[in-house]
């Protein structure tokens, strides 16, 4: 058989990688030497997307398809063991290759080093009980990370504890050294450009690691306390392509100053993305470094769980006007800048409304959230694609809801307001204003108004359905709704997810009639009925018929939950 040119073979492997077709790539690796090199390169380049990583994906898939329910417990356990064994084998081959112990240098093929996933493997019970000894016996240089004692586990089994911190540090050092050495060899190129770290990373060794990764573009750190001016200097000298930083947690007395030093040491206007997700102590020093060093480059900013000092210092970021995505989260939701620090409030408004390229805005638990969002929506120079506003008061916010209508290009909207049952008689005008504004947003594809719609009646849901023909995902709550809504909902031919969290009295016939109107454009739809009343309970047989019908028609799924105040033999969830 005539062989294909190498460039054609590489194009084939690249397309398979783009499709995440691990099975075909694996078989190409086995088909012969001509194919193995290119197929392995792409197989390891996308290894972080493999379903085996995490050890639960096969069980999830079995549950989704229904196969799980028909499989014995022994078969499920065997499947889980097989998945974990493959997971361990993948990591073993990557680590061993950094020591030169494999035919192919797999660690040079990987694009992202996710040591957080390795920690998950080491802590997995199935791995510890079945594969730990074999795993470490094949990696002699790392055997010292197994503590020289055995402890008794449940069912009488014994296992050797792992010094996970030491092992992760040794693995990081070995892989980064291998990548660094290859970078110094003529004609050798390592693919690694991203690193994802968790656990207690040695702050002394950390700068050495990243200094070896000359192609490093992004870092994701569980603990950001390893960042300081020295680490920034190393990146400035060795990692010319670095542009993205994500931190899960970062707290301590010196965190704000150290992170500021790190950001200040980076080359000016090179950082494009900064995400801080959870507990942290960043504040004015970090913000000042961002404002001075990266005001022209930063386009993506997430600041989660901000404490009081940080909230009061947000106006320091006033120079960051190149932002496209902005996500701000108040840890406690107590600080009202408009009433307690009006100058800072006005500067904050001036900053966000000056971000004329902004497309996505998310505000969570901000007392001043409605005022900030209203100012953004009324700015004709800003055309938003996505808005999320959580933790605000629904009542008496008509100006906010009215301003939404000005953002006619919106495709995604999530409003999660706090409502009170006693407000029903007082917020009718607020509801009408909101529904009127939402109905004018003809480009909406995603709409989540859970909690915000707690006082909605069927009529409001019907009005939204007939007004927003492009909706693909709709989540609503409200007063009790019944089959009267299906006529309007049936006109949403692009809908892929429909979630009712209100009390519902849907009948079997009403649901089946809705399903009969689904089109192929609704392919994959998931219908959630999350609070069915006792009077409208569906029998197991009826639930099975609905599930089979939606699956056969459009490969859809059905979830059904009975309202739990009244116990019932028919209470169930079907998906």
Q: Contact, 434 vs 401, CB < 8 A?
A: yes
Percent of the chain at pLDDT > 70 equals 88
Q: Which pair of structure tokens corresponds to residue 268?
A: 């000016």
For residue 148, the SS3 value is: coil
pLDDT in tens, 189-208: 566 777 777 666 788 889 99
Label residue 20 left, alpha or beta by phi (over 0 means left) and psi (-120 to 50 means alpha): left
Instruction: Give the long-range contacts of residues 126-130, CB within 8 A, separation 24 or more.
Output: 126/55, 126/80, 126/81, 126/84, 127/55, 127/84, 127/87, 127/88, 128/153, 128/159, 128/162, 129/153, 129/157, 129/159, 130/81, 130/84, 130/85
Listed in sequence order, the DSSP H helices in 220-321 are 229-238, 255-265, 284-293, 308-313
pLDDT band per the 50, 70, 90 thresholds, residue 12 = confident
Give the CA angle between residues 54, 60, 62 to the nearest 5°.
Answer: 130
Q: Which pair of structure tokens corresponds to residue 565?
A: 């105040």
- For residue 418, the 8-state DSSP code is E
Answer with the residue of higher pLDDT: 371 or 50: 371
Residue 201 buriedness (CB in 10 A; 0-12 / 13-18 / 19+): buried
Helix or strand (DSSP H, E) at 151:
strand 151-152
Look at residue 45 and tell me whether its pLDDT is greater than 50.
Answer: yes
Tallying the residues shown for the chain, one arrives at 575
pLDDT in tens, 102-128: 988 888 888 888 888 898 999 999 999
**Which residues lie below 8 Å from residue 560, measured CB to CB, with a gap of 6+?**
529, 532, 538, 543, 546, 572, 573, 574
Q: Which pair of structure tokens corresponds to residue 324?
A: 């496209």
**Residue with tokens 């079997």, as numbered in its chain:** 508
Mean pLDDT in residue range 38-52: 77
Q: Contact, 470 vs 445, CB < 8 A?
A: yes
Q: Say what the pLDDT of residue 392 is.
A: 94
Q: How many C-beta atoms lie closer than 10 Å to residue 356's C-beta? A: 13
Q: Contact, 464 vs 427, CB < 8 A?
A: no
**Which residues lie below 8 Å from residue 353, measured CB to CB, with a gap of 6+?**
375, 376, 379, 382
Q: Which pair of structure tokens corresponds to residue 113?
A: 């080093």
Answer with the residue of higher pLDDT: 27 or 541: 541
Q: What is the pTM of this model?
A: 0.84
pLDDT band per the 50, 70, 90 thresholds, residue 66 = very low
Label residue 21 left, alpha or beta by phi (over 0 means left) and psi (-120 to 50 means alpha): beta
Using CA atoms, how far apart are residues 347 and 275, in angstroms rounded to an integer? 23
pLDDT band per the 50, 70, 90 thresholds, residue 574 = very low
pLDDT in tens, 405-463: 999 999 999 999 988 765 556 688 999 999 999 999 999 999 999 999 999 999 999 99
Q: Contact, 181 vs 206, CB < 8 A?
A: no
Q: Contact, 410 vs 384, CB < 8 A?
A: yes
Look at residue 68 and tell me whether its pLDDT is greater than 70.
Answer: no
Q: Say what the pLDDT of residue 250 is.
A: 93
Q: Contact, 573 vs 559, CB < 8 A?
A: yes
Q: What is the DSSP string of 108-132?
A: HH-SEEEHHHHHHHHT-HHHHHHTH
- Measured between alpha carbons, how far is residue 242 from residues 166, 217, 327, 497, 533 in Å? 27, 4, 22, 38, 55
Q: Which pair of structure tokens corresponds to residue 450?
A: 């859970």
Look at residue 362 and tell me whether its pLDDT is greater than 60.
Answer: yes
Using CA atoms, how far apart are residues 49 and 54, in angstroms rounded to an integer? 11
Percent of the chain at pLDDT > 90 equals 63
**Residue with tokens 């992760």, as numbered in its chain:** 168
Q: Say what the pLDDT of residue 423 is.
A: 59
Domain locations along the chain = 6-168, 480-575
Phi/psi of residue 273, nearest 5 degrees: -140, 130
Q: Which pair of structure tokens corresponds to residue 239?
A: 């990692």
């Amino acid at each position: 058989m005539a062989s294909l040119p190498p460039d054609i073979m590489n194009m084939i492997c690249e397309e398979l990688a783009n499709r995440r077709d691990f099975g075909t790539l694996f078989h190409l690796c086995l088909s012969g030497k001509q194919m193995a090199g290119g197929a392995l390169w792409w197989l390891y380049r996308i290894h972080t997307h493999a379903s085996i990583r995490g050890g639960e994906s096969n069980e999830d898939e079995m549950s989704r398809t229904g196969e799980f329910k028909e499989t014995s417990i022994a078969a499920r356990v065997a499947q889980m063991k097989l998945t974990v064994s493959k997971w361990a084998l993948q990591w073993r081959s990557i680590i061993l290759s950094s020591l030169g112990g494999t035919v192919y240098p797999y660690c040079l093929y990987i694009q992202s080093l996710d040591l957080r996933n390795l920690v998950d493997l080491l802590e997995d019970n199935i791995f510890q009980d079945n594969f730990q000894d074999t795993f470490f016996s094949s990696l002699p240089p790392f055997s010292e990370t197994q503590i020289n004692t055995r402890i008794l586990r449940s069912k009488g089994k014994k296992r050797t504890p792992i010094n996970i911190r030491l092992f992760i540090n040794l693995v990081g050092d070995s892989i980064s050294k291998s990548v660094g050495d290859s970078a110094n060899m003529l004609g050798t190129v390592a693919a690694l450009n991203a690193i994802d770290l968790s656990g207690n990373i040695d702050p002394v060794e950390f700068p050495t690691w990243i200094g070896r990764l000359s192609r490093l573009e992004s870092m994701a750190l569980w603990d950001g306390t390893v960042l300081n001016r020295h680490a920034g200097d190393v990146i400035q000298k060795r990692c010319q392509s670095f542009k993205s930083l994500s931190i899960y947690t970062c707290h301590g007395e010196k965190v704000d100053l150290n992170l500021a030093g790190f950001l200040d040491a980076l080359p000016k206007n090179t950082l494009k993305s900064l995400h801080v997700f959870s507990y942290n102590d960043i504040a004015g020093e970090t913000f000042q470094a961002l404002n001075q060093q990266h005001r022209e480059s930063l386009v993506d900013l997430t600041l989660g769980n901000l404490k009081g000092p940080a909230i009061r210092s947000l106006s320091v970021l006033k120079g960051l006007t190149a932002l496209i995505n902005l996500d701000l989260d108040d840890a406690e939701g107590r600080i009202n800048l408009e009433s307690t620090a009006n100058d800072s409030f006005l500067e904050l408004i001036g900053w966000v409304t000056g971000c004329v390229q902004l497309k996505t805005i998310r505000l969570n638990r901000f007392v001043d959230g409605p005022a900030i969002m209203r100012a953004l929506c009324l700015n004709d120079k800003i055309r938003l694609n996505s808005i999320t506003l959580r933790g605000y008061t629904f009542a008496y916010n008509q100006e906010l809801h009215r301003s939404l209508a000005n953002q006619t290009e919106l495709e995604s909207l999530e409003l999660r307001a706090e409502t009170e049952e006693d407000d029903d008689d007082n917020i009718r005008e607020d509801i009408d204003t909101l529904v009127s504004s939402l109905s004018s947003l003809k480009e909406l594809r995603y709409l989540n108004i859970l909690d915000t719609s707690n006082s909605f009646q069927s009529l409001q849901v019907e009005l939204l359905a007939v007004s927003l023909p492009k909706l693909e995902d709709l989540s609503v709550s409200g007063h009790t709704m019944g089959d009267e809504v299906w006529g309007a909902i049936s006109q949403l031919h692009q809908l892929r997810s429909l979630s009712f969290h209100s009390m519902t009295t849907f009948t079997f016939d009403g649901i089946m009639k809705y399903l009969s109107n689904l089109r192929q454009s609704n392919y994959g739809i998931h219908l959630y009925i999350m609070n069915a009343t006792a009077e409208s309970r569906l029998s197991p047989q009826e639930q099975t018929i609905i599930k089979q019908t939606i699956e056969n028609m459009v490969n859809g799924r059905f979830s059904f939950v009975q309202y739990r105040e009244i116990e019932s033999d028919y209470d169930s969830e079907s998906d």
